[in-house]
Amino acid sequence: MGKLLADARERLAALPHAEPRLEAELLLAEATGCRRETLLAWPERIPSPGQAQHFAALLARRLAGEPIAHLRGHQAFWKQELRVTPDTLIPRPETELLVELALELLAAPAPLIVADAGTGSGAIALALALERPAWTLLALDLSPGAAVVAADNLRREGATNAWVIRADWLAPLAPASLDALIANPPYIPSADPHLSRGDLPREPRTALAAGPEGLDAYRRLVPQARTCLKPGGLLVLEHGFDQAPAVRALLTAAGFTGIATRDDLAGQPRSTWGYRA
């Protein structure tokens, strides 16, 4: 297996934005059914012909540009392993900050109603549902494909306090019905060249791009949140590294108070929150 990994790393090094060592190990683990730790501990092991063929097929698809998460069919987020498909955004580590903030800012034992708008794979809703069994989680998404994936993830992980709702943001929710809203809306400007790089071309564009400034989703979501949140309700939003001032301004204009921004682990302003007055 050591030679297979070395050859794969060399080939993956030519792929822009790849992580050759990590990706080679993940693909070989997927092909053999072994843990990465096992592959590294016993590099002298020889895969079966079928495993080697499967690995070669996965590697060829990765070199053609398919994301690792799509090839494996799953992606780690928080404490779970989520099923992902091309219908959903691939969960990113920086989005775990939204989960951390919700757990920090909301009362743990209270029977709160919390929405995850634009849930995609259901990552945020699932993490919060399992961490806070007393909460009720509403996972909302307009995409039929994303709704199916989110519902499957919630079912497989046994999140009986979470439900998926097909919705255009918060349209079906009643006024003052939510204690909190957590969201990772699309926030890349529509002409940003990054949309053509790395994994992004293989992910749903509607989950990534939102108008010329990347702010269109916030302009819709913040006023809806102002209506659907109870007085004192919490709104937490992920955004681009340079969008914190604009997002704070939108919250201020909508009458939110206690507005603040938290950096991600890379030191970039990544999440902003506020409370409905």
Edge-to-edge strand list for the sheet holding 136-141: 162-166, 136-141, 113-117, 178-183, 229-238, 269-276, 256-263
> Contact, 23 vs 59, CB < 8 A?
no
On whether both 198 and 269 belong to a single domain, the answer is: yes
Please tell me the pTM assigned to this model.
0.92
pLDDT band at 1 (very low <50, low <70, confident <90, very high): low
The average pLDDT across 51-80 equals 95
pLDDT in tens, 158-209: 999 999 999 999 999 999 999 999 999 999 999 999 999 989 999 999 999 9
Last residue of a domain, one of 44, 65, 86: 65
On whether both 269 and 196 belong to a single domain, the answer is: yes
pLDDT in tens, 78-128: 999 999 999 999 999 999 999 999 999 998 889 999 999 999 999 999 999
pLDDT band at 2 (very low <50, low <70, confident <90, very high): confident
pLDDT at 205: 96
Give the whole-angstrom CA distance, residue 157 versus residue 175.
30
On whether both 40 and 91 belong to a single domain, the answer is: no
Encode 42-96 in three state secondary structure.
CCCCCCCHHHHHHHHHHHHHHHCCCCHHHHHCEEEECCEEEECCCCCCCCCHHHH
On whether both 125 and 261 belong to a single domain, the answer is: yes
Last residue of a domain, one of 17, 39, 65: 65
pLDDT band at 45 (very low <50, low <70, confident <90, very high): confident
Residue 183 lies in a domain: yes
